[in-house]
Amino acid sequence: MNVPFLDLLAHHQPIRSEILSAIGEVIDQSAFAGGPFVARFEEEFARYCQVRHAIGVGNGTDALWLALLAHGVGEGDEVVTVPNTFIATAEAISLCGARPVFVDIDERTYTMNPALLAGAVTPRTKAIIPVHLFGQTADMDPILEFARRHHLLVIEDACQAHGAEYKGRKAGSMGGAGCFSFYPGKNLGAFGEAGAVVTNDDQVAAKIRILRDHGQRKKYYHQYVGWNARMDGIQGAILSIKLRNLNQANERRRRHAQEYFQRLSGFSGLILPFEAPYGRHVYHVYAVRTPRRDQLLDHMNHHGIGCGIHYPVPLHAQEAYRALGIAEGAFPIAEKCAREFLSLPMYPELQAEQIDQVASVLVAGLQ
Ligand SMILES: *Cc1c(COP(=O)(O)O)cnc(C)c1O
């Protein structure tokens, strides 16, 4: 039996006709760029995240970039984040004209280690971007407390953590802004590109609404040099439907994670995901660790199991960031994880037999 890494077809089958009729409504109203369907989704998503505002944008990268811009991050500033994330986190910083500064991660949660922040801040530091990697939030209280003491902004990269919680608070709701991606494979995915910024700050929300629409408050009257970062009407309409199923889909992911745990715990040389007691993990990615990763990846692929690596090269070691001049060895935990991570199939529609098959093949590969 083959098991794909992701199965979007199975995910969309039960809501196919509902989605087609929603697309029909958008066509009937010709509400394609922004408009009422986006506005409705924004209200629903803000409520879901327990915040005052959600602003729909073009994708998660836009969300991060606009959140930084709206807070005045720019030329000469430094923004602290982690090296084990998708490059968009750092790109958003660079595209503002600021410089990404990295701190290493906690070895169990794979998120920002708050104890390392003190060694990373300089008089130029303006903001901190913790990344809620794989669907688990960073340890936010010490990060928020550190930021308060040093007058720094906190922007949450919640692009992998729709519906995740930290001490009862929703991912994205704790910092000055939270940034989401609705790329198709994310826990809440559009039918194309989309993203959102959530915030409780009325002024920041208003500014992002203007920036995402060419800096105009009124058509053809431009207050700022902005950008075209609007969400499509069709994506807004589809996301409203898919948001209703998000809690149930996350619940299923959590059950699959438990099943993997039951099948895979106790093998030496295999580290399973750790759910910190402070929160609720939504398993966007189910990544195990093994020192024989490359060998195991070949073995899994050979037996028809789709696997991924998130991510093979930490950002400070990427060619794109060579100019930062950070030597290998600077972030030993992130670097070790990059060598050892192996992401197993994880999606709400995974079947018990499929989990069984993934586990059997993996265990055979460990022998
Ligand atoms: C997906 C992702 C992004 C970027 O989102 P896009 O919608 O692809 O632009 C940013 N950060 C993280 C951690 C992500 O996983």
Q: Write out the chain's pLDDT in tens, 367 residues.
A: 999 999 999 999 999 999 999 999 999 999 999 999 999 999 999 999 999 999 999 999 999 999 999 999 999 999 999 999 999 999 999 999 999 999 999 999 999 999 999 999 999 999 999 999 999 999 999 999 999 999 999 999 999 999 999 999 999 999 999 999 999 999 999 999 999 999 999 999 999 999 999 999 999 999 999 999 999 999 999 999 999 999 999 999 999 999 999 999 999 999 999 999 999 999 999 999 999 999 999 999 999 999 999 999 999 999 999 999 999 999 999 999 999 999 999 999 999 999 999 999 999 999 8
Angle at CA 181, nearest 5°, toward 202 and 31? 75
Q: Which residues in 142-176 are b (16+ Cβ under 10 Å) and which e?
A: ebbebbeeeebbbbbbbbbbbbbbbeebbbbbbbb
Parse the chain into domains and list their residue ranges.
8-243, 247-366
- Best mutation site among 66, 183, 235, 343 for ligand 1 pocket (most ligand atoms within 8 Å of CB): 183
Q: How far is the CA of 356 from the centre of ligand 1 (A)?
A: 30
Give the domain 247-366 fold.
Aspartate Aminotransferase, domain 1 (3.90.1150)
The finding on whether 84 has its CB within 6 A of some atom of ligand 1 is no
Whether domain 8-243 has CATH 3.30.365.10? no
Angle at CA 316, nearest 5°, toward 281 and 182? 40
pTM above 0.85, yes or no: yes
| Torsion angle defined by CA atoms of residues 280, 283, 284 and 285, in that order, rounded to the nearest 10 degrees | 140
Coil vs helix vs strand at 110: coil
